[in-house]
Structure 1
Amino acid sequence: MSLDSHPTTPATGPDPLRFDGPDAFARWRRAISEAFVPLDAHPIGGGAPSFHGSLHCAALGSAMQLSEVSGTHVRVRRTAETIRKADPGFVKFGMQVSGNGILRQGDHEAPLSPGDFAVYDTRVPYELHFADDFTMFVVMLPRDALKISSGVLDAVVGRRIRGHDGVGALISPFLMQLRHNLQNGTLPSTPMFEDAVADLLSAAFDETAPPLRERSGPTLLASAKTFIDHHLSDPDLNTVMVATAHHISARYLQKLFETDGRTVASWIRSRRLDKCRRDLADPRLTQETIRTICARYGFLDTAHFSRLFKDTFGQSPSSFRGHALTETHPRPPEHTYI
């Protein structure tokens, strides 16, 4: 179960918190609310009177946290409302230790059996459903600690990774060893180990991501070009901005544009120049200065714009404007009187 926390949660310590007795669920839910960001927890099928559970967390390095959570007959939801209350931007890597669970996030549903694990993002609503006794081990780390693009993360969240196949067969034993370290209080303290865990999980995410990005390439390229046209006035428009808006890496965005024989920067520049040329030739805009027109499309340095314009179109902006407007409104022929 993903319990969104800060590394200094009160649940961090050598011993787990245990919850038994008639008010166990209320205390467990209250402990979660105090130790983690708000979550919406409810018992399933009137299970509150018989609820029993535990919570144990410990920090690994400066930003990563390990947690083991157990309970029974419970549904936990991360809703839009709870996200608004606190959004720490963590990603969770949850492994089912015992019992069975179901994780739902976005359009994906992951049925989890012991040894299976799934990735989920605390910035997006999700739901975890446990119909019986369960134990789950969770590695929580900041989104920025992962060395993967947002596109890879979006493709992986909410999907089951089988613990006995492929990359899961490599990761599951490693997570189980981390769980034993948590239980025994023997977690390594070196920052290098924290980085190694982040690298390993990043590799697992990247290996697990379905090849959706390549198939959606033409659609992404068209969307990126539309985004650029809508933001030409922003002088800070660049490759990173466009890639971030589309949840893909800057490198992948460059590859998409290379299919057209261009770079992202050259496309932005050509679109800006085309828009400026259009406005310079528009007779309705004769009252606007060249400085005003080029600034409208992100060129704040008029001299730089003039050089680019002449290099591209073979004449200065003022010469182009004069010829274009003359052709649009030619002078009337002179009359000859006899």
Structure 2
Amino acid sequence: MLNEMVFRSEDVPAADRLDYWTERVGQTHAPVRMRSDHAHDFRATQRELDLGAVSVWPATFQQLVIQRTPKLIRQSDPELYHVCLVVGGTGIADWDGHDATYRPSDLHINDSSTPWEIRTGPDPVTVVGIEVPKALLPLPRAMAGRTPPRRVPSGEGIGALLAQFLTQLSADTTPYQPSDGPRLGTVLTDLVAALFAHTLEAGNTLPTETHQRTLILRIKHFIHEHLHDPCLSPGHIAAAHHISTSYLHRLFQGEEATVAAWIRLRRLDAARRDLTDPALHSTPIRAIAARWGFTRAADFTRAFRTAYGIPPKDYRHQALDFPKWTHR
């Protein structure tokens, strides 16, 4: 799993908990001031995931007022962009005489070089925060000095891709090795850059490499959402993304598999998970295969054996530890 650290305000005496949390946020993002109605016994938890130069930190905390003041900026500015996915709770942010209200599923953006104040609602807030050094974002000079919107909905487009990436990553880090951290950080940086450029209506100024990586992420998400469709094919995918089939194949030249192979691997993996699900033990294997786009049972059995070295029936029995008399 990824390297991560866990911090809990309960690890220190009650009277010190708000100060402890203020220090934690100062180390994660930038020095801030805090006050809370729960200062006598402040409750908060944070996980910090190591993605190299980029950090992701899921956190839950009680009501807060957080300030990043001009004085604090003069004292210390790590030159970071902060992007935060609001999972639960609400907040209001003020900066330069403007304000924005944040609700679950919103993306909140701020800048360590800009003064701001955030006031959360009375209920606990749950977020997944990102800290990206400004120097890492592949944004052109033409965008220098232009501030992205402070609130971006995550219901569609690049905002949805970023929110889904953060949600999946923070929910379970066990599939990843520590060495995957910097690579995931690169993907995250590209998504943040694409989001900024898109919201500033300057997407065409992004470097070609970033455009391509973002497009590949969109295509892979599209494939994942349409695995059940037996008509899913490179031609169908290319048409849905307004690109040629040949360009789609070129995009996947640097990936671990061709487009068709990537679809097949994802379908096989989805079917494999269903075969190990006790709740689906009575579902015929051919039905599971059809659910994931394999219209011919024989094709599914052949592909499954090639991928996992065992027929799907035997794999299911081994995974669920069925007694021998249940074999069909």
- TM-score range (shorter-chain normalised) is 0.5 to 0.7
Determine which of 25, 29, 32 is the counterpart of 1:39: 32
Give 3-state SS (helix, strand or coil) of 2:159's partner.
helix
Give the whole-Å Cα distance in 2 for the aligned partners of 1:108 and 1:157: 13
Judge conservation of contact 1:106–1:158 (CA < 8 Å) in 2.
no
Judge conservation of contact 2:96–2:115 (CA < 8 Å) in 1.
yes
Give the whole-Å Cα distance in 1 for the aligned partners of 2:178 and 2:144: 27
Ranges of 4+ aligned residues in structure 1 off by more than 6 Å: none
Give the whole-Å Cα distance in 2 for the aligned partners of 1:15 and 1:82: 26
Give the whole-Å Cα distance in 2 for the aligned partners of 1:179 and 1:118: 17
- The equivalences for 1:9-48 within 5 A come to 14-20=4-10, 22-23=14-15, 24-33=17-26, 37-43=30-36, 46-48=37-39
Give the whole-Å Cα distance in 2 for the aligned partners of 1:117 and 1:193: 19
Is 1:51 matched with 2:45? no
Judge conservation of contact 2:29–2:131 (CA < 8 Å) in 1.
no
Judge conservation of contact 2:48–2:57 (CA < 8 Å) in 1.
yes
**RMSD over equivalenced CA pairs, Å:** 2.8
TM-score by length of 2: 0.53
Question: For residues 156 and 165 of structure 1, do their structure 2 counterparts lie closer, same or farther at Cα, with a shift above 3 Å needed?
Answer: farther
Is 1:143 matched with 2:134? yes
> What does residue 66 of structure 2 align with?
76
Is 1:98 matched with 2:81? no
Question: For residues 195 and 22 of structure 1, do their structure 2 counterparts lie closer, same or farther at Cα, with a shift above 3 Å needed?
Answer: closer
The Cα offsets for residues 257-310 of structure 1, whole Å up to 9 and x where unpaired, read as: xxxxxxxxxxxxxxxxxxxxxxxxxxxxxxxxxxxxxxxxxxxxxxxxxxxxxx
Judge conservation of contact 1:105–1:158 (CA < 8 Å) in 2.
no
Judge conservation of contact 1:42–1:74 (CA < 8 Å) in 2.
yes
- The equivalences for 1:274-293 within 5 A come to none
Question: For residues 107 and 197 of structure 1, do their structure 2 counterparts lie closer, same or farther at Cα, with a shift above 3 Å needed?
Answer: same
Q: What is the deviation of 1:130?
A: 0.8
State the identity %: 23
Is 1:164 matched with 2:155? yes
Give 3-state SS (helix, strand or coil) of 1:164's partner.
coil
Determine which of 100, 109, 113 is the counterpart of 2:99: 109
Judge conservation of contact 2:158–2:191 (CA < 8 Å) in 1.
no
* Greater C-alpha Rg: 1
Judge conservation of contact 2:29–2:112 (CA < 8 Å) in 1.
no
Give the whole-Å Cα distance in 2 for the aligned partners of 1:105 and 1:151: 23
Give the whole-Å Cα distance in 1 for the aligned partners of 2:97 and 2:144: 14
Give the whole-Å Cα distance in 1 for the aligned partners of 2:142 and 2:172: 32
Give the whole-Å Cα distance in 1 for the aligned partners of 2:84 and 2:74: 23
Question: For residues 110 and 158 of structure 1, do their structure 2 counterparts lie closer, same or farther at Cα, with a shift above 3 Å needed?
Answer: farther
Q: What is the deviation of 1:58?
A: 2.4
Give 3-state SS (helix, strand or coil) of 2:31's partner.
coil
Residue-pair matches, total: 196
> What does residue 51 of structure 2 align with?
60
Give 3-state SS (helix, strand or coil) of 1:148's partner.
coil
List gaps (5 residues or longer) in structure 1. 1-11, 212-338
Judge conservation of contact 1:121–1:157 (CA < 8 Å) in 2.
no
Give 3-state SS (helix, strand or coil) of 1:92's partner.
strand
Determine which of 118, 125, 131 is the counterpart of 1:128: 118
Give the whole-Å Cα distance in 2 for the aligned partners of 1:116 and 1:48: 27
Is 1:202 matched with 2:193? yes
Judge conservation of contact 2:5–2:47 (CA < 8 Å) in 1.
yes
Judge conservation of contact 1:54–1:70 (CA < 8 Å) in 2.
yes
Judge conservation of contact 1:56–1:68 (CA < 8 Å) in 2.
yes
Q: What is the deviation of 1:13?
A: 6.1
The Cα offsets for residues 174-222 of structure 1, whole Å up to 9 and x where unpaired, read as: 121122245x5846634443222211211111111258xxxxxxxxxxx
Judge conservation of contact 1:87–1:122 (CA < 8 Å) in 2.
yes
Give 3-state SS (helix, strand or coil) of 2:86's partner.
strand
Judge conservation of contact 1:145–1:198 (CA < 8 Å) in 2.
yes
Q: What is the deviation of 1:107?
A: 4.8
Question: For residues 150 and 41 of structure 1, do their structure 2 counterparts lie closer, same or farther at Cα, with a shift above 3 Å needed?
Answer: farther
Judge conservation of contact 1:181–1:187 (CA < 8 Å) in 2.
no
> What does residue 296 of structure 2 align with?
none
- The equivalences for 1:164-243 within 5 A come to 164-181=155-172, 184=174, 186=176, 189-190=179-180, 191-209=182-200
Determine which of 103, 108, 111 is the counterpart of 1:118: 108
TM-score by length of 1: 0.51
List gaps (5 residues or longer) in structure 2. 203-328
Judge conservation of contact 1:77–1:127 (CA < 8 Å) in 2.
yes
